[in-house]
Amino acid sequence: MSWLLGFIGSHLSADLASRFQALHPQPRCELRSHKVYLAAGGLTETCLHGSFSPLQTEAGWAICGLGLESRAHSCRFINTADWQQILAAESPPLKKLDGHFVAVKWKSDQIECFTDQLGLRTLFLIHVDNGTAFSTRLDWIAALREHNEIDFAACGSSWLTFNQIGHEALLKNVLRLGPNGVARLSPTSTKIQSTPWTPNPIILNKILPRAFALFCIRQWPRRRIFH
């Protein structure tokens, strides 16, 4: 798999940069300035990156995960050239994509983070020192703090059901970027929004009830035999 670790704040100290660097293995993409730290790595197939300027440190992007483009009777993986075009848009049309991914694009001292429409890959954020740290790895986020506390209300549904109900992080005072999430980060502000996926109304109101009724009709003779 692939991973992402970053920070943006009013000042990136040498000590904090060393703490970040000690957490992750050799990155495939790395960015560092007096306000920003960003590293991404992992498998070559699931960690892609590119630049919007001659210098990637000025403006660029990175992807952790796999994006899928659905077609009439097939689908295909999104490649580097596709991501370059998609993320070049001011508001990337990521809702049209399937798959599981976290996308990050930056320009100067501004960073935007995006998650896939189902939130299969997610991003965790915390306030640290004089800025915001973020990562796809919750254990790395936890390592940046001296004290961590489990949020039992958030992890309860994950324990009792196959998938977690809700989009909260499993640690208190940690933000989690939910489905269709967008996080806009600057050295002085953090703005987060997410829009959970919902089925197409036609499928939800017409197709599913008919499918359920057909399932019940087919199951009824079996129930009579066994009972």
**Torsion 140-196-103-15 (CA) sign:** negative
CB within 8 Å of 70: residues ≥ 6 apart? 98
Give me the domain span that covers residue 30: 2-196
Based on its alpha-carbon atoms, the radius of gyration of the chain, rounded to whole angstroms, reads 21
Domain count of the fold of the chain: 2
65 touches 101 (CB < 8 A):
yes
d(CA 87, CA 137): 23
192 and 219 share one domain: no
192 and 209 share one domain: no
CATH of the domain at 121: 3.60.20.10
CB within 8 Å of 198: residues ≥ 6 apart? 204
5 touches 137 (CB < 8 A):
yes
Residue range 43-53: mean pLDDT, rounded: 93
Give the per-residue pLDDT at 167: 85
Q: What's the pLDDT tens digit per position in 156-213? A: 766 666 677 778 898 999 999 989 999 999 999 999 998 887 776 665 676 667 777 7
143 and 212 share one domain: no
111 touches 8 (CB < 8 A):
yes
Give the per-residue pLDDT at 203: 59
147 and 181 share one domain: yes
Residue range 96-100: mean pLDDT, rounded: 91
103 and 206 share one domain: no
d(CA 94, CA 115): 8
Residue range 26-51: mean pLDDT, rounded: 95
80 and 182 share one domain: yes
Give the per-residue pLDDT at 221: 56
d(CA 110, CA 138): 23
51 and 87 share one domain: yes
Residue 131 CA to chain centroid, in angstroms?
20
169 touches 124 (CB < 8 A):
yes
Single pTM value for the model: 0.84
162 and 220 share one domain: no
117 and 129 share one domain: yes
